[in-house]
Structure 1
Amino acid sequence: MHFSTLIFTTLISLGLAQDLTGLPDCAVTCFDDNFANSSCADTDVACLCADTTFFSDVEVCVLEACDDADVSTTLTWATAECDAVGVPLSKKRSVFGRKH
C-alpha cells in the first residue's frame, strides 16, 4: 500500500475519516489517488461528497481494487461520512455498483 503521512494528514484535515482503520487499505489508496482530480478544497468535505466525478473515479478504483467485503465496507463508510455533512450519497446515482 502507498499510504503516506500526507494522505493520513489530508484525510484527517478533511474530516472524512474518524477512524481510518475502518476504511480498507484498497479504498484508502483509491481516495488518495483521486483527491488531486477534485476541484474541491481539501477541507471541504461537503464539496467532495457532492463531486460526482471524484466519487465516480473512486468507485471505479474501489470496484477494481477491493473484494466484495471491502466494497461494502467502503460504501458504508462513505455514506456515513457524507451523511454527516448533509450530502447523502443515497441521493446520487449508483455508488460503488449499487443503488442505495
Structure 2
Amino acid sequence: MALANDELTIGKNHACNGKRVDITMRKVNTLLSVDEEADWQNYLKYINIDIKFVKEKRLNLLPKYNRIVFELNKCRDELLSLKQAKLDVVT
C-alpha cells in the first residue's frame, strides 16, 4: 500500500484483515522560519542558553556518575572476595 505524498495519516480502514500493510515514513526537518536579523539573533540566543544549561547539568551529573561507578566497582570487588572466601571454605 502506498501513501500519497499529501496523505498525512493512515487508519485502520486502510488495511484489510489478514493483509499486510507497508508503511513508509520520512522525517522532515523544518527549521524555524526567520525573516529578520533580530529574529535570528533571538533564536541563536535561546539556543546558546539551552546549550549552556545542558553543559552545566552534565558537569553536575558527572561527579555523581563517577561516585556511583566507584561504589559499583567496590561492591563488585567485595562480592568477588566473598565468593573466593566461600570457595576456600568449601575446598
- Normalised-by-shorter TM-score class: under 0.3
Instruction: Give the alignment's TM-score, normalised by structure 1.
Output: 0.20
Q: What is the TM-score when the length of structure 2 is the normalising length? A: 0.22
